[in-house]
């Protein structure tokens, strides 16, 4: 009798409702902490507090340099530091590098004509509007998901540390997210030229396109690649060549030196969300010999695993949705420079999984326990993203293990789906 009661108690403890309460409690703590951090950050930005520059200062300074005819020295670290110190009235410890393509500097040139604080708050408002638009896009994509997990997903996306960081730091990762997710939805509806055009939004950080480009080659999606190339080549080269003859090479040279520039520019390697961040935070050394071999091993293994799924997807033996999810995740494991705001891309494979898991004809839609399980998992993800960010801010960067877990789940535990799904059938795969 005692064994029966113990077994019953165990089942109750592991039932969906207690897990939902526990995950909800952790998520509430994370939400309150996030709200406090946002309020403090906005107050510091509005008052030009010491160090309250975000990443936006590097964009603002780059826009100032090209706007005043000094684009020929745009990628000189000393010039970047001097310009940032001259433009920000509040002071800071280390300058922030500007490794983005030249067209991004020209995009920020009009902002550089405004006072820094005004420009920063204006950019935050633009990012907030973009975030709200992406929430509507995600909600539309998940229209067949039950209402509660759909709304929780959208809320978790909007309020998570990656999204909040992208907005408050004045970053551009939401544009990358928009490009990759729009391309996915356009591929599903067989609008290939528009899908390629959408991918061009990710050119702010071109390395995040690496997995997608390889996947499109495997799928022989030449129209998508042609459309992307037709936009990418002039966008990446013409502004640079018109700025000065050596600016394009200066950009490439700066990117090559950037991983080891922590002493001159604020790379913040010990807080990165990749293998490099973990190793640097543990060893307190940014030496390439310490972190690069491990990063290369992870990247090679992830590429091998993803490539197997990509090849299988060409014959319908693996879902095209899964192949796309792995292509999005691959650069997060392979990039030598990755911070919290870029983890907003995790929500693309998560949205794809949610749509697959809750197919209208499937059993999960009508199973209350599985619906609560999904909600609990989303709330736990929200709490984990905050907790791992906070631990990283204290000196131990462990976010890479969450990315590894997400990649492994997408690669090996993809929700069951009928082979030859509609998305796969629409692809003209040879």
Q: Please report whether residue 4 resides in a domain.
A: no
Q: If residue 20 lies in a helix (H) or strand (E), which one and from where to where?
A: helix 16-46
Q: Please report whether residue 7 resides in a domain.
A: no
**CA dihedral of 192, 194, 196, 201, whole degrees rounded to 10:** -150
Judged against a pLDDT cut of 80, whether residue 1 lies above it is answered with no
Is the model more confident about 316 or about 346? Answer: 346
Q: Please report whether residue 5 resides in a domain.
A: no
Q: What is the pLDDT of residues 399-415, one digit of tens each?
A: 999 999 999 999 999 98
Judged against a pLDDT cut of 80, whether residue 13 lies above it is answered with no
Kindly indicate the confidence band of residue 16, based on its pLDDT and cuts at 50, 70 and 90. low
Task: Determine the structural domain holding residue 79 and report its residue range.
Answer: 21-426
Q: Please report whether residue 3 resides in a domain.
A: no
Q: What is the pLDDT of residues 299-340, one digit of tens each?
A: 999 999 999 999 999 988 899 999 999 999 999 999 999 999
What 3-state DSSP class applies to 357?
helix
Q: Please report whether residue 197 resides in a domain.
A: yes
pLDDT of the residue at 325: 97
Is the model more confident about 44 or about 417? Answer: 44
Q: Work out how many domains the chain is built from and give that number.
A: 1
Taking the C-alpha atoms of residue 95 and residue 274, their distance in angstroms, rounded to an integer, is 22
Give the CA angle between residues 67, 72, 76 to the nearest 5°.
105
Q: What is the pLDDT of residues 241-297, one digit of tens each?
A: 999 888 889 888 888 877 655 566 778 888 999 999 999 999 998 888 999 999 999
Q: Please report whether residue 109 resides in a domain.
A: yes
Q: What is the mean pLDDT of the chain?
A: 89
pLDDT of the residue at 94: 85
Q: Please report whether residue 9 resides in a domain.
A: no
Q: What is the pLDDT of residues 117-159, one digit of tens each?
A: 999 999 999 999 999 999 999 999 999 899 999 999 999 999 9
Rg (CA), the chain: 22
Q: Please report whether residue 8 resides in a domain.
A: no
Taking the C-alpha atoms of residue 423 and residue 174, their distance in angstroms, rounded to an integer, is 25
């Amino acid at each position: 009798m005692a064994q029966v009661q113990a077994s019953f108690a165990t089942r109750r403890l592991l039932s969906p409702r207690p897990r939902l309460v526990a995950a909800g409690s952790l998520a509430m703590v994370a939400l309150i902490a996030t709200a406090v951090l946002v309020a403090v950050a906005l107050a510091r930005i509005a008052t030009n507090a010491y160090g309250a520059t975000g990443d936006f200062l590097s964009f603002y300074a780059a826009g100032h340099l090209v706007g005043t005819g000094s684009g020929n020295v745009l990628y000189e670290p000393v010039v970047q530091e001097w310009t940032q110190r001259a433009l920000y009235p509040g002071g800071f410890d280390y300058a922030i590098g500007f490794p983005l393509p030249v067209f991004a500097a020209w995009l920020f040139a009009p902002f550089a004509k405004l006072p820094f604080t005004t420009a920063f708050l204006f950019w935050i408002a633009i990012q907030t509007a973009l975030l709200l638009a992406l929430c509507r896009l995600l909600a539309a994509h998940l229209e067949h998901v039950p209402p509660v997990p759909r709304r929780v997903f959208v809320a978790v996306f909007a309020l998570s540390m990656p999204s909040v960081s992208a907005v408050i730091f004045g970053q551009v990762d939401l544009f990358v997210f928009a490009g990759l997710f729009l391309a996915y939805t356009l591929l599903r509806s067989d609008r290939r030229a528009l899908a390629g055009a959408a991918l061009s939004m990710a050119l702010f950080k071109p390395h995040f396109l690496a997995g997608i480009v390889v996947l499109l080659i495997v799928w022989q999606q030449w129209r998508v690649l042609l459309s992307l190339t037709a936009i990418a080549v002039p966008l990446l080269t013409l502004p640079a060549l018109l700025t000065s003859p050596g600016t394009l090479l200066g950009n490439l040279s700066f990117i090559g030196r950037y991983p080891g520039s922590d002493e001159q520019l604020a790379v913040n390697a010990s807080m990165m969300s990749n293998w490099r961040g973990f190793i640097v935070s543990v060893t307190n050394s940014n030496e390439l010999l310490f972190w690069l071999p491990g990063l290369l091993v992870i990247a090679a293994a992830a590429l091998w695993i993803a490539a197997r799924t990509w090849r299988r997807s060409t014959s319908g033996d693996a879902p095209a949705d899964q192949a796309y999810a792995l292509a999005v995740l691959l650069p997060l494991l392979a990039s030598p420079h990755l911070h919290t705001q870029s983890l907003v891309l995790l929500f693309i494979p998560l949205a794809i999984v949610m749509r697959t898991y809750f197919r209208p004809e499937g059993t999960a839609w009508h199973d209350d326990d599985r619906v609560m399980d999904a909600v609990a998992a989303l709330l736990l993800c929200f709490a984990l993203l905050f907790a791992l960010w906070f631990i990283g801010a204290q000196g131990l960067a462990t976010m890479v293990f969450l990315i590894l877990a997400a990649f492994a789940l997408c690669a090996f535990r993809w929700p069951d789906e009928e082979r030859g799904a509609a998305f796969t059938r629409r692809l003209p795969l040879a």
